[in-house]
Amino acid sequence: MTNRPPAAYEGESDRAMWAALRRHTQARIGLGRAGSALPTRHRLELQAAHAAARDAVHTPFAPDVVAAALTGFPTIRVRSAAPDRLGYLQRPDLGRRLDAADRAHLPRDDWDVVFVVADGLSSRAVHEHAAAMVHATTALLPADLRVAPVVLAEQARVALGDDIAHAMGARMTVVLVGERPGMSAADSLGAYLTYAPRPGTTTDADRNCLSNIRPPLGLAYATAAARLTALMKRAHELGRTGVDLKDESTESAEAPALTPTT
Amino acid sequence: MSTYTARLGGRTHSFPSLAALLAAASPERSGDRLAGLAADSAEARVAARWALAEVPLARFLAEPVIPYEDDDVTRLIVDTHDARAFAPVAGLCVGEFREWLLSDAADAGSLAALAPGLTPEMVAAVSKLMGNADLVAVARKARVVTAFRSTIGLPGRLATRLQPNHPTDDPAGVAAALLDGLLLGSGDAVIGINPATDSPKAVRDLLELLDGVIRRYAIPTQSCVLCHVTTSIDLMERGAPVDLVFQSIAGTQAANASFGVTLGLLDEAYDAARGLGRGTAGQNALYFETGQGSALSANAHHGVDQQTVEARAYAVARRYDPLLVNTVVGFIGPEYLYDGRQILRAALEDHFCGKLLGLPMGLDICYTNHADADDDDIATMLTMLGVAGASFVICTPGGDDIMLNYQSASYHDALYLREVLGLRPAPEFEDWLSRIGLLDDAGAIRDVTGTAHPLTAIGRELAA
């Protein structure tokens, strides 16, 4: 052990170096060691982050919470064909299909857009951010645009919105869905815009997506709503969404003009 | 096609093809259920194994699970099969082959000689008759040694991939995570970054950053920025410092097409990478990642179960003498491997099949947060794969990858594994660790502090 540095080198300056390096990355660097393992504090911090992510995945969707926050909007509740969380996680095909009885209850009309609030992989993201996103987005839409009742969908994947829009006769669907939780973000909301969706044939390449909506750390509601409504306007002009429709918006939150389609 | 049958529980179970039989014989996993290929009862699963045990190995050459005409991976498997290497086991059925593999007749030498005579379907089939302990015991005997600047796969050694990812490819963030990994003795398999974008400029910047560190500190390892193979070919033509050429591959032509690759493209990359001659200890210059579920995810599985399709990806890999192959075992999600138990089983199967086919198999022992798994599953998998003789594992800071949003092994986990199993780093890298003062007298990584070590010039420059 002749080349072990004297203890005087250790301590403050070492901590200062790692603190400086952590300004450049959120990675869990410079954690120190207990033998070969992590120090207790870091082990527990990792478990806490994992627990938050796991709880987000398994927290049951509470449509009442979202409905109560959606003041002024009629809401309809549906389930996918996935029987429970276990079935949902193992069978993505079931999460993309409406429960048959629920499909029959959806009101069919000449809607321009239907907002679908889907629990996805994080109910927490939906509880915290979905209603605010519906408010922020609809505030930027022209008053004569026909917005369907908001559909609150349980055990739902993004493509369930295709089934819903098709059943309701809506031209566009905006699915607000809880994203797969990471260790540093368990409450991230995604917004998927699809024009003229057709269940079974519409694919992810036919959608436009805004990700990481989770103020204050992620995308703010106003910014996300401005980008989403700009995409909706262009989607209406082009008659499609997806790879042909690029998000060319600036970060401006100013309301874009949207031509009603009725 | 033949029908395969077995009587069990008072009824006859019937399987209409070899592919159906293989699928039904697989352990329960969500991906095969999603694909509609899983056995419809626990008894049917065991009946399939009885029937599979009696299938002659030679049958797999006569009845490809995906037709020869439809798929270039099948053509590769059939056209490159080495009948002479196959001869020692040519008369065995799958059940007898299991017993042969577990016997003393199968040692490092005979397994290495046999590898070119085995097909993916044969090794997938025998794996389905094996318990987890069988998969460990046999894989442990198989040795595959490859080299570039470090030598991977020697007995008693465990290498690691240092994975300093950053969500925006920020060079300072990457360098900080790189320093952290080096100080914990990681990086002898490769220093490998998953870039946030596939843009040639971003990839080149990262390559030059890694190349600079490797040269400055004379580290006997290799870098890789895991971009698409076409990006690497382009960068090699333009003189970028490419050590290893990376590509994700799968077990069918259609699944590879969904990754934007063909065998012809991989041939081109192979020639270009070897032409650079950048290795010092050897010239194995390719790096492949695979993982169960990718063919199903691309709707390109042809009715073949996900483990058998995965083994077919290894036939693609072995054509190119890679330095490293790893299955990213728990990455895709619970619709393919639901929980820690399914991920562990898949990890052992993939490692076993790859090793028997002659590949330098490593693992990204990992899970996503919507799978039913946690850090204890990582520890269990690490320990079993360490005993099984995995060539390398992937390590991230604290086991948390902030770019790909999943959990993998940590640098600490690799230290644990080396410590409890008495494993050492690749020899060239171990010498370097020693020279640079990171090993203590017992050969373990010293708990050096940042500022006291020459490597921390990397950190001091960033912090300044």
Q: What is the pLDDT of residue B453?
A: 83
CB B163 within 8 A of CB B363: no
Backbone angles phi, psi at B162, to 5 degrees: -85, 125
A237 class by beta-carbon count within 10 Å (0-12 exposed, 13-18 middle, 19+ buried): exposed
Among residues B373, B349, B275, B460, the alpha carbon closest in space to that of B127 is found at B349
Question: Facing residues of B104 across strands?
Answer: none
Max distance between CA atoms of chain A, in angstroms, equals 83
Structure tokens at A146: 């026909």
Flag whether pLDDT at B459 surpasses 90: no
Q: What are the extents of the domains in chain A?
A: 61-236
Flag whether pLDDT at A7 surpasses 70: no
Cα A148 from Cα A164, distance rounded (Å): 11
pLDDT band at residue B195 using 50, 70 and 90 as cut-offs: very high
Nearest CA in chain A to B397: A28
Kindly tell me the sign of the dihedral angle through the C-alpha atoms of B57, B61, B63, B67. Answer: positive
Q: Which residue has the tokens 């032509």?
A: B253
Q: Where on the phi/psi map is residue B458: left (φ > 0), alpha (ψ -120 to 50), or beta?
A: alpha
Looking at residues B170-181, what average pLDDT do you find?
95
Q: Which residue has the tokens 């159906």?
A: B20
Residue type for position A59: T
The reply to whether A158 sits in an annotated binding site is: yes
The string of pLDDT tens digits covering residues B77-93 is: 999 999 999 999 999 99
Q: Cβ separation of B462 and A24 shorter than 8 Å?
A: yes
Looking at residues B67-71, what average pLDDT do you find?
97
pLDDT band at residue A203 using 50, 70 and 90 as cut-offs: confident
pLDDT band at residue A259 using 50, 70 and 90 as cut-offs: very low
DSSP code for A98: B
Cα A236 from Cα A258, distance rounded (Å): 9
Q: Which residue has the tokens 């509880």?
A: A127
Cα separations in angstroms, B134 against A46, B101, B111, B349? 33, 9, 15, 10
Task: Check if the interface score ipTM surpasses 0.90.
Answer: yes
Lowest mean pLDDT among A236-245, B122-131, B302-311: A236-245
Q: Where on the phi/psi map is residue B46: left (φ > 0), alpha (ψ -120 to 50), or beta?
A: alpha
Q: Cβ separation of A57 and B370 shorter than 8 Å?
A: yes
Q: What is the pLDDT of residue A5?
A: 42
CB A192 within 8 A of CB A228: no
A interface test, pick of B451, B458, B461 with most A CB neighbours within 10 Å: B451
Q: What is the pLDDT of residue A252?
A: 36
Cα B88 from Cα A149, distance rounded (Å): 70
Q: What is the pLDDT of residue B209?
A: 96
Max distance between CA atoms of chain B, in angstroms, equals 76
- Mean pLDDT value across chain A: 88
Q: Where on the phi/psi map is residue A35: left (φ > 0), alpha (ψ -120 to 50), or beta?
A: left
Architecture of domain B4-141: Orthogonal Bundle (1.10)
How near does any CA of chain A get to the CA of B401, in Å?
7
Q: Is the bond preceding residue A149 a cis peptide, omega within 30 degrees?
A: no
Question: Facing residues of B328 across strands?
Answer: B364
Minimal Cβ distance to A57: which of B165, B175, B369: B369
Of the candidate CATH numbers 3.40.47.10, 3.40.50.11240, 2.30.42.10, 3.10.20.440, the domain formed by A61-236 belongs to 3.40.50.11240
Stretch 2-61 of chain B: residues touching chain A, C-beta under 8 Å: 30, 33-34
Q: What percent of chain A stands above pLDDT 70?
A: 89
B402 contacts on A by Cβ (under 8 Å): 25-27, 182-184
Looking at residues A115-144, what average pLDDT do you find?
96
The reply to whether B403 sits in an annotated binding site is: yes
Lowest mean pLDDT among B144-148, B350-354, B437-441: B437-441
Looking at residues A103-117, what average pLDDT do you find?
96
Architecture of domain B146-435: Alpha-Beta Barrel (3.20)
Q: What are the extents of the domains in chain B?
A: 4-141, 146-435
3-state secondary structure at position B343: helix
Flag whether pLDDT at A249 surpasses 90: no
Cα A172 from Cα B192, distance rounded (Å): 42
A interface test, pick of B163, B165, B370 with most A CB neighbours within 10 Å: B370
Do strands B4-8 and B11-15 pair parallel, antiparallel, or not at all (unpaired)?
antiparallel
Cα A204 from Cα A117, distance rounded (Å): 18
Q: What is the pLDDT of residue B87?
A: 98
CB A126 within 8 A of CB A116: no
Q: What is the pLDDT of residue A6?
A: 40
Q: Cβ separation of B180 and A30 shorter than 8 Å?
A: yes
The string of pLDDT tens digits covering residues B225-266 is: 999 999 999 999 999 999 999 999 999 999 999 999 999 999
Flag whether pLDDT at B116 surpasses 70: yes
Cα separations in angstroms, A150 against A75, A87, A130? 5, 25, 11
A50 contacts on B by Cβ (under 8 Å): 369, 374-375, 407
Residue type for position B259: F
